[in-house]
C-alpha cells in the first residue's frame, strides 16, 4: 500500500493538471466567443500583454462573459461530482441528482421561494435545500427494503419522485399569472444568463469546502465499491459516510439549482466518460470529475450562447439533448 | 535601471494625460448632463443629448419614433415592428430576455427600459457597466402621456411630445363626446387567449379602452390576465365578444363558431362576435388611441354611422 500510494499520487497530479489545462482552454474559448465578434483577438492580446485596447469588448468579456463562464464551471463541477457520488454510494451507474428527483425537489423549494418573493441568497437557497432533502429522504425510504431489488427500485422510486416533483412544479406554474412566469420557465430549463460575480463568489464559498470534503472521502468511496462487508472490515462507518456524502451532495445540488435552475444529465455524462477513460479509482475520479465536469459545462454553455441566431438557448436544453441519449445507451447496456 | 526609469516616465506622462482627459471629460459632461428621476424612482445621470439609444421594449421603440427621434435608436428588441423603419434596427434579444453583450457592443449612451418586463438584473448589470438606464412605465393612456413627456425632455423633443399628446387628448375627447350619447353600455368579453381562455383585468390598458369606448369589461378584477373556463364565460352572458387576432389564420373563425353554438347568448343572437387586430392592442403607445377609436366603432356602430356617412359624402 505504502509503495503504491505515490504512484497514485503522481497519476492524480498528472491527470488533474491535464484536466486543468483543458478547463483553462475551454474557459478561454468561452470568454472569446459570443454574440460580439473580435473576442479571440482581445483574449489573445490579454494573454500576451495583460491588457486589451478595446474598452467595450473588455467590458463584455470580463463583466458579462467571465462571471458566466465561472458559474458554468462551478455548475458542471458540482453536478458531475454529485453524479459520481450518487453512483458510488447507491451502487447504481444510472443514479444522478436530476434523474432521482433531487434537483426537482430543490426546484420546488426554489419556485416557492421565488413566488413568496425571497432573495436569491440565502432565502431561496435554504428553501431549495429543504426541498431536496425531503426528496432524498423520500427516495431512500421508498427504495429501502428488499436488498436484491435495490438497484431497480431505487431508480424507479427516483423516477416516481421526479414525476411527482414535475407535477408540483406545473401546479405552481399554473398558479403564477404575471411576468414572473416567463422568468420561472426559463430558469427551470437551466439558465446561466443572469450570472454575475457576486453569484459566482457565493457559489465558490459554498462549494469549495464541499469539494475538499468529498475528496477526503474519495478513498472511502473506493472501499464502499468493494461491498459493504469488506468496507466494514476495513473500518468504514458505512451509515455515517453514506449520510454525510448524500447530504453534502444534496446541499451542493440545491445551491446550484436555486441559482441556475434545472440542468440535467451532467452528472451522468461526465462520470461515465471519465470512468471509461481513467478507471474506477475515486482518488483520481473526484478531481477529474470536478475539472472535467467544469470543462463540459463551459462548452455546453458556449453552445447555448452561440447556436441560436437570436438570443440564446437555456443551457439545460443542451445538456439534456446530449445526456438523454447517453442515458438510454447506458440503460440498454446495463440491462443486457 | 535606465529602462525602469523610462517606464515610470512613460507612465507618468500617460497618467498626466489621462488625468487631464478625465478632468476635461467630467467637466464638459457635468455641465451638459441631466440628472433625472425615472419612473422607478431611480436617479439617473444622462449626457445632455443622447445619440445612441437602445430601446428595451417594442413600445419604447414606438414611442421614440412617435417623438421623431427614431434615427437615434441603435438597438431594439424582437417584435419591434412599428413603424416600418423600426424593423431595420439591430436586434438585442426579446424584452424579457435581453442579450446584454449585444447591448454593450452597441455602445449606447442611453438605454430606455420598461418597469415591468425587463429583468432587474439586466438593468443592474448595465448600470455596473456605466450605461445609463432610464426606466419608464407605459401601461395605460395616462402613463403613455407621462412617458412621452419624459422622453421628450430627455431627447430634446418637447415640442413634438406636446403636439403628440395634444393630438391624443383631442381624439380621446372626441370619442368621449360621441360615446356619451349611447343609451346602453354593453357587457363585453374581451378575449386575448384562445386556449386557455384569457381576458383582461382592471389594471390593463385594454380595460381602460373598453370603458372609454362605452363598454363594461366583464373580466374586471385584480388579476391582470384572468383565465376562464367556458362555463364561466357563458355565465357572464356577454353582449359582445371581442377577440384579438393574436391567434392568426383561421383560428378566429373557429373560436367564433365555438361561441356561436350557444344560441341563447346575447352576443350570438345579435351576431356580435368581433375580431380586432392585435397589433394595436398589445402595446401601450400613442397608437392606443387608434385602438380606442376602433373599439368605440365596434361597440357603438350606431353612433358612428352618421359620421361615416358624412365622410363618405
Q: pLDDT of A69-89, one tens digit each?
A: 999 999 999 999 999 999 888
Q: Which residues of A touch B93 (CB under 8 A)?
A: 310-311
Out of A34, A178, A311, whose CB is closest to B93?
Answer: A311
A253 is a domain residue: yes
Does one domain contain both B138 and B234?
no
Note whether B128 contacts A63, CB cutoff 8 Å. yes
List chain B residues with pLDDT less than 50.
1, 25-31, 313
* Overall average pLDDT of the A246-256 stretch: 92
* Overall average pLDDT of the A282-294 stretch: 93
Q: How many domains does chain A have?
A: 1
How far apart are the CA of B117 and the nearest CA of chain A, in angstroms?
A: 6
CATH at B59:
3.40.50.1980
Does one domain contain both B130 and B196?
no
A251 contacts A46 by C-beta, under 8 angstroms: no
Interface test with B, best of A32, A35, A304 (most B CBs within 10 A): A35
A241 contacts A225 by C-beta, under 8 angstroms: no
User: Which of A258-267, A309-318, A320-329, B166-175 has the highest average model confidence (pLDDT)?
Assistant: B166-175
Does one domain contain both B79 and B135?
yes
Give CA–CA dist A270/A91, Å, rounded: 17
Would you say residue A334 has pLDDT above 70? no
A75 is a domain residue: yes
Is B198 within 8 Å of chain A by CB? no
Would you say residue A151 has pLDDT above 70? no
A65 is a domain residue: yes
Which positions in chain A have a beta carbon within 8 angstroms of at least one beta carbon in chain B?
34-36, 56-57, 59-60, 63-65, 177-179, 182-183, 186, 193-194, 196, 310-312
**What's the pLDDT score for residue A233?**
85
B137 is a domain residue: yes
Residues B249, B140, B182, CA angle at the centre, nearest 5°?
A: 80
Does one domain contain both B187 and B69?
no
Tell which residue, A46, A39, A45, A41, has the closest CA to residue A61: A39
Would you say residue A264 has pLDDT above 60? yes
Note whether B97 contacts A64, CB cutoff 8 Å. no
Interface test with A, best of B57, B79, B105 (most A CBs within 10 A): B105
Does one domain contain both B224 and B258?
yes
Give CA–CA dist B138/A6, Å, rounded: 69
Note whether A179 contacts B78, CB cutoff 8 Å. no
Does one domain contain both B203 and B151?
no
Would you say residue A141 has pLDDT above 90? no
**What's the pLDDT score for residue A172?**
87
Give CA–CA dist B140/B202, Å, rounded: 11
* Overall average pLDDT of the A211-236 stretch: 87
Give CA–CA dist A133/A100, Å, rounded: 12
A1 is a domain residue: no
Q: Which residues of A touch B119 (CB under 8 A)?
A: 183, 194
Out of A64, A178, A179, whose CB is closest to B100?
Answer: A64
Does one domain contain both B140 and B190?
no
CATH at A245:
1.10.3470.10
Q: Which residues of A touch B105 (CB under 8 A)?
A: 35-36, 56-57, 60
**What's the pLDDT score for residue B161?**
95
**What's the pLDDT score for residue A178?**
65
Does one domain contain both B301 and B210?
yes
- Work out how many CB contacts closer than 8 A connect A with B: 58
Q: How many domains does chain B have?
A: 2
Residue A194's pLDDT band, with cuts at 50, 70 and 90, is confident
Would you say residue A166 has pLDDT above 70? yes
User: Which of A95-99, A248-252, B245-249 has the highest average model confidence (pLDDT)?
Assistant: A248-252
Does one domain contain both B197 and B289?
yes
Q: Provide the greatest CA pair distance for chain A.
A: 66
Note whether A34 contacts B101, CB cutoff 8 Å. yes
Q: Which domain holds residue A227?
A: 7-335
Is B102 within 8 Å of chain A by CB? yes
H or E element, residue B217: strand B216-217
Is B129 within 8 Å of chain A by CB? yes
Does one domain contain both B146 and B248?
no
B145 is a domain residue: yes
* Overall average pLDDT of the A135-141 stretch: 85
Nearest residue of A to residue B116, measured between CA atoms: A179
How far apart are the CA of B110 and the nearest CA of chain A, in angstroms?
A: 15
**What's the pLDDT score for residue B29?**
46
Q: Which residues of A touch B117 (CB under 8 A)?
A: 179
* Overall average pLDDT of the A50-64 stretch: 77
Is B193 within 8 Å of chain A by CB? no
Does one domain contain both B115 and B240?
no
CB atoms within 10 A of CB B301: 11
How many angstroms separate the Cα of A184 from the Cα of each of A37, A258, A271, B221? 30, 11, 29, 24
Residue A148's pLDDT band, with cuts at 50, 70 and 90, is very low
Q: Which domain holds residue B226?
A: 179-312
A2 is a domain residue: no
> Across the beta sheet with B240-244, what order do the strands follow?
B216-217, B187-191, B240-244, B273-276
B74 is a domain residue: yes
Interface test with A, best of B77, B101, B222 (most A CBs within 10 A): B101
Give CA–CA dist A223/A225, Å, rounded: 5
Tell which residue, A289, A247, A16, has the closest CA to residue A136: A247
* DSSP conformational letter for B90: P
B94 is a domain residue: yes
Nearest residue of B to residue A192, measured between CA atoms: B97
How far apart are the CA of B94 and the nearest CA of chain A, in angstroms?
A: 7
Given the C-alpha cell 426579446, which residue does it identify?
B94
* Overall average pLDDT of the A293-298 stretch: 95
Note whether B104 contacts A310, CB cutoff 8 Å. no
B95 contacts B114 by C-beta, under 8 angstroms: yes
Task: Decide: pTM greater than 0.90.
Answer: no
Would you say residue A177 has pLDDT above 70? no
Note whether B78 contacts A311, CB cutoff 8 Å. yes
Given the C-alpha cell 458540482, which residue does it identify?
A78
Last residue of a domain, one of B156, B190, B212: B156
Is B115 within 8 Å of chain A by CB? no
Last residue of a domain, one of B101, B124, B156: B156
pLDDT over 90 for what percent of chain A? 30
Amino acid at each position: 500500500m505504502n509503495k503504491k500510494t505515490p504512484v497514485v499520487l503522481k497519476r492524480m497530479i498528472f491527470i488533474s493538471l491535464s484536466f486543468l489545462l483543458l478547463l483553462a482552454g475551454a474557459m478561454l474559448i468561452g470568454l472569446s466567443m459570443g454574440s460580439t465578434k473580435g473576442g479571440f483577438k482581445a483574449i489573445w492580446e490579454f494573454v500576451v500583454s495583460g491588457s486589451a485596447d478595446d474598452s467595450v469588448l473588455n467590458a463584455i468579456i470580463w463583466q458579462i462573459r467571465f462571471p458566466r463562464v465561472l458559474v458554468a464551471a462551478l455548475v458542471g463541477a458540482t453536478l458531475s461530482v454529485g453524479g459520481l457520488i450518487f453512483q458510488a454510494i447507491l451502487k447504481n451507474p444510472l443514479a444522478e441528482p436530476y434523474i432521482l428527483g433531487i434537483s426537482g425537489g430543490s426546484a420546488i423549494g426554489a419556485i416557492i421561494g421565488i413566488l413568496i418573493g425571497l432573495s436569491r441568497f440565502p432565502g431561496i437557497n435554504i428553501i431549495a435545500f429543504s426541498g431536496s432533502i425531503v426528496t432524498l429522504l423520500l427516495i431512500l425510504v421508498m427504495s429501502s427494503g428488499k436488498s436484491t431489488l435495490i438497484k431497480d427500485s431505487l431508480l424507479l422510486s427516483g423516477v416516481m419522485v421526479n414525476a411527482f416533483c414535475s407535477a408540483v412544479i406545473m401546479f405552481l406554474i399554473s398558479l403564477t399569472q404575471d411576468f414572473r412566469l416567463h422568468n420561472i420557465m426559463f430558469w427551470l430549463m437551466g439558465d446561466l444568463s443572469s450570472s454575475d460575480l457576486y453569484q459566482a463568489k457565493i457559489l465558490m464559498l459554498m462549494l469549495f469546502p464541499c469539494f475538499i470534503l468529498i475528496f477526503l472521502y474519495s478513498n472511502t468511496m473506493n472501499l464502499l465499491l468493494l461491498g459493504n462487508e469488506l468496507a466494514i472490515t476495513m473500518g468504514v462507518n458505512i451509515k455515517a459516510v453514506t449520510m454525510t456524502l448524500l447530504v453534502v451532495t444534496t446541499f451542493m445540488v440545491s445551491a446550484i439549482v436555486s441559482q441556475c435552475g434545472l440542468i440535467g444529465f451532467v452528472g451522468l455524462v461526465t462520470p461515465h466518460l471519465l470512468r471509461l477513460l481513467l478507471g474506477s479509482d475515486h482518488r483520481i475520479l473526484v478531481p477529474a470529475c470536478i475539472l472535467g465536469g467544469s470543462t463540459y459545462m463551459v462548452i455546453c454553455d458556449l453552445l447555448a450562447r452561440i447556436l441560436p441566431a437570436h438570443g440564446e438557448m437555456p443551457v439545460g436544453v443542451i445538456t439534456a439533448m446530449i445526456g438523454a441519449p447517453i442515458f438510454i445507451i447506458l440503460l440498454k447496456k446495463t440491462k443486457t | 535601471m535606465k529602462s525602469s526609469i523610462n517606464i515610470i516616465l512613460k507612465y507618468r506622462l500617460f497618467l498626466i494625460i489621462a488625468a487631464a482627459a478625465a478632468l476635461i471629460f467630467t467637466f464638459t459632461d457635468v455641465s451638459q448632463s441631466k440628472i433625472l428621476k425615472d419612473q422607478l424612482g431611480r436617479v439617473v445621470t444622462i449626457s445632455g443629448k443622447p445619440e445612441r439609444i437602445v430601446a428595451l421594449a417594442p413600445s419604447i421603440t414606438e414611442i421614440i419614433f412617435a417623438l421623431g427621434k427614431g434615427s437615434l435608436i441603435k438597438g431594439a428588441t424582437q417584435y419591434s415592428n412599428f413603424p416600418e423603419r423600426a424593423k431595420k434596427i439591430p436586434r438585442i434579444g426579446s424584452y424579457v430576455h435581453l442579450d446584454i453583450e449585444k447591448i454593450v457592443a452597441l455602445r449606447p449612451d442611453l438605454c430606455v427600459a420598461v418597469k415591468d418586463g425587463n429583468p432587474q438584473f439586466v438593468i443592474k448589470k448595465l448600470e455596473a457597466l456605466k450605461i445609463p438606464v432610464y426606466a419608464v412605465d407605459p401601461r395605460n393612456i395616462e402613463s403613455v402621456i407621462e412617458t412621452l413627456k419624459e422622453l421628450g425632455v430627455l431627447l430634446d423633443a418637447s415640442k413634438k411630445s406636446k403636439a403628440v399628446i395634444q393630438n391624443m387628448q383631442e381624439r380621446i375627447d372626441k370619442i368621449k363626446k360621441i360615446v356619451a350619447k349611447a343609451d346602453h353600455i354593453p357587457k363585453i368579453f374581451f378575449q386575448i387567449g384562445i386556449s386557455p381562455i384569457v381576458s383582461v383585468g382592471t389594471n390593463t390598458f385594454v380595460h381602460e379602452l373598453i370603458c372609454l369606448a362605452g363598454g363594461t369589461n366583464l373580466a374586471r378584477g385584480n388579476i391582470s390576465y384572468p383565465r376562464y373556463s367556458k362555463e364561466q364565460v357563458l355565465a357572464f352572458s356577454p353582449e359582445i365578444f371581442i377577440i384579438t387576432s393574436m391567434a392568426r389564420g383561421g383560428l378566429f373563425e373557429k373560436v367564433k363558431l365555438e361561441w356561436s353554438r350557444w344560441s341563447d347568448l346575447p352576443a350570438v343572437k345579435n351576431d356580435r362576435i368581433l375580431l380586432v387586430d392585435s397589433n394595436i392592442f398589445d402595446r401601450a403607445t400613442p397608437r392606443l388611441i387608434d385602438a380606442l377609436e376602433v373599439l368605440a366603432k365596434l361597440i357603438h356602430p350606431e353612433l358612428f354611422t352618421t359620421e361615416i356617412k358624412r365622410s363618405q359624402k
